[in-house]
Amino acid sequence: MSEQTLSQPRDERRVVIVGAGMAGVQTAVALREQGFAGPVILIGAEPHQPYDRPPLSKAVLLGKAEGSAFEVDFEALAIELRLGVDVTGLRPGAREVDTEAGPVPYDVLIIATGAEPVTLPGSQGVPGVHLLRTLDDAERLRPVLEQRHTIVVVGAGWIGAEFATAAREAGCAVTVVEAADRPLAGALPADIATPMAEWYAESGTELLVDARVDRIEPGRVVLADGRTLPADAVVVGIGARPATGWLAGSGIDLGPDGSITADDRLRTSLPDVYAVGDCASFPSARYGERLLVHHWDNALQGPRTVAANIVDQIAPGSHVYDPVPYFWSEQFGRFVQYAGHHTGADAAVWRGEPTGASWGVVWLREGVLVALLAVGRPRDLAQGRKLIEAGARLDPERAADPSVPLKAAVL
């Protein structure tokens, strides 16, 4: 019996992908690239042609682009799109996904529903309050920037900084309110994030730290200490959580953060069900802990592993996902890049002064490079990411010299 004959039954499996963002689209494309010939159905909640999200806080928001649709010929790839369809539940016993348009049967299911923004209590329904997660969100915010409104941004994380950057570029008056004592408090250590507060002032953005929002009223934001801030519009950027509420009652294992607890092959606790992207956490042998990565690169890399594990006939489940996490942010005229995971590091080595235009930090664990932050130093990032993947040891003294290429600091 030929290998083709053996593989034919598996090729006819019906693959359903829930979520038409980066992770879902790339999984569908990767399946075709890796030779899967069976039916592939991609279900998306939004009615728009699937699109990339990073441009929403930049080009789309500023009116420099009308959209950011993926350049994928779904028809040519025989990928069936079902857009504008809300998924309401999963019944693994019946091997069906419930949708508002009726049940969708599957042989293999990939969950790629991403994350949903955290809302500010009491802000729902208040006029002028915005989130920035979808194309529709960006379209609603575009005229706000065009009219140069006075804007309050709640949250000084990555999305808050990027939106504030775009709003200042558009000529808006911007105040950013942050409950912590510094920007990026949930992402970076205090000694590294604190110098970034100066970027706000340099751009003409007012940053209020240790400031909590009590309530939002039409035209103003009231802080817990009684201060009031004028606000034609309020943009809330206080984080995101995995979009997994629709899985209640399905029996799928979820973590305390709401993420689907996938294994190192991105398989879930349910048979023939995978999870990828912002909605899923995975165990990292490299870092010795479970990671939940809400960044674009994770949604790009994970699908290749999922597709390989679905397609592979010889050693099913042999493709392990253990990436070096990577993300970037463009804010206040600076290009910020990060690779790795610094939790668990026992040393942080600065490369340059944070008052300068370009600087960075490398994190070591027992001398091994585990993470890197690069501000205006793309070469550091390119070299550092490879060194992290290789488990390279660095000489701290040479690594501290910004004139020395990172690869030249390897012991």
Q: Hey, where are the domains in the chain?
A: 3-116+240-311, 129-236, 333-409
Predicted confidence (pLDDT) at residue 86 exceeds the cutoff of 60:
yes
> What angle (nearest 5°) sits at the alpha carbon of residue 290, between those of residues 184 and 278?
60
Under DSSP, the state recorded for 23 is H
| Domain 129-236 homologous superfamily, CATH | FAD/NAD(P)-binding domain (3.50.50.60)
pLDDT of residue 57: 80
pLDDT of residue 313: 59
Which of 42-46, 54-58, 200-204, 377-381 comes out lowest in average pLDDT? Answer: 54-58
Predicted confidence (pLDDT) at residue 7 exceeds the cutoff of 50:
no
Give the pLDDT mean for 94-114: 97
> What is the token pair recorded at 189?
């250590």
Per-residue CA distances from 102 to 43, 48, 272 (Å): 12, 20, 21
Q: In this predicted model, what pLDDT tens digit does every residue of 278-321 receive, in sequence order?
A: 999 999 999 999 999 998 999 999 999 999 999 985 555 579 99
pLDDT of residue 243: 97
Three-class SS state of 410: strand
pLDDT of residue 58: 78
Dist CA 180 CA 212 (whole Å): 9
> Which residues are CB-contacts of 318 (< 8 A; sequence separation ≥ 6)?
309, 312
Predicted confidence (pLDDT) at residue 8 exceeds the cutoff of 60:
no
Per-residue CA distances from 1 to 139, 261, 407 (Å): 57, 39, 51
pLDDT of residue 6: 42
For residues 77 and 28, is the Cβ–Cβ distance under 8 A? yes
Dist CA 394 CA 400 (whole Å): 10
Tell how far CA 50 is from the center of its chain. Answer: 16
Dist CA 406 CA 398 (whole Å): 8
Dist CA 410 CA 387 (whole Å): 8
> What is the token pair recorded at 98?
């419930």
Under DSSP, the state recorded for 258 is S
Backbone phi, psi, residue 4, to 5°: -65, -40
Q: Which residue in 36, 53, 352 sits closest to 192, CA to CA?
A: 352
pLDDT tier at 5, thresholds 50, 70, 90? very low
> What is the token pair recorded at 310?
């679905």
Three-class SS state of 65: coil
Tell how far CA 210 is from the center of its chain. Answer: 26
pLDDT of residue 40: 98
Element (H, E) at 142: helix 135-146
Dist CA 323 CA 168 (whole Å): 35
Three-class SS state of 201: helix
Dist CA 354 CA 87 (whole Å): 46
Task: Report the CATH number of the 3-116+240-311 domain.
Answer: 3.50.50.60
Which of 133-137, 174-178, 407-411 comes out lowest in average pLDDT? Answer: 133-137
For residues 186 and 159, is the Cβ–Cβ distance under 8 A? no
> What angle (nearest 5°) sits at the alpha carbon of residue 157, between those of residues 46 and 221?
85
Q: Which residue in 218, 174, 202 sits closest to 357, CA to CA?
A: 202
> What is the token pair recorded at 191?
């000694």
Q: What mean pLDDT is reported for the chain?
A: 93
β-bridge mates for residue 111, sequence order: 18, 275
Per-residue CA distances from 233 to 3, 129, 144, 145, 167 (Å): 62, 6, 7, 10, 11
Q: Do domains 3-116+240-311 and 129-236 have the same CATH topology?
A: yes
pLDDT of residue 315: 55
Give the pLDDT mean for 360-377: 97
Class of domain 333-409: alpha beta
pLDDT of residue 143: 92
pLDDT of residue 316: 54
Q: What percent of the chain has pLDDT over 70?
A: 96
Dist CA 348 CA 193 (whole Å): 13
